[in-house]
Amino acid sequence: MKWKSSYAIGVEAIDKQHERLFDISERIEELFLLPGHMDKFDEIVEIIEELKAYVIYHFNEEQQLMEKIQYPKYFSHLVEHQDFIEKINDFDLHELDHAQQQQLRELVDFIMTWLVEHVLEKDKAFATYCREKNM
């Protein structure tokens, strides 16, 4: 879950935020890789809160930029952001207590897949539009 330079979209502020998101996700993966018999409940709750808070901040920053330049795909992009937040909110902490490793694995897979696809496709498309508009 390491950040790679190929993930850069060329908008500096956003790239920095994406890097931070990858950092948080990497820490979730590290938590998963710790021995399975450990009780990770508190750490998982804590890191999910951190992820949620940061992702809300980051999505807002992106959306403000999009509004500013009147990005034509603003609403479909917004829906993707909302879906992500919803999915993280739906993460069941009661379920977690019974199957921590399995839940963590699913969470890591979801975040990794979503983040890479979203950044490479949707955020890059936005960055291309910014460049076309000379922003």
Is 123 a binder of Fe ion (CB under 5 A)? yes
Is 15 a binder of Fe ion (CB under 5 A)? no
Smaller CB separation from Fe ion, 15 or 123 = 123
CB of 66 to Fe ion, least distance (A): 9
What DSSP string describes the chain? Answer: ----GGG--S-HHHHHHHHHHHHHHHHHHHHHHS-TTS--HHHHHHHHHHHHHHHHHHHHHHHHHHHHTT-TTHHHHHHHHHHHHHHHHH--HHHHHH-HHHHHHHHHHHHHHHHHHIIIIIIHHHHHHHHHTT-
Region 45-104 residues binding Fe ion, contact defined as CB under 5 A: 62
CB of 95 to Fe ion, least distance (A): 28
Binding site residues, Fe ion, CB under 5 A: 62, 123
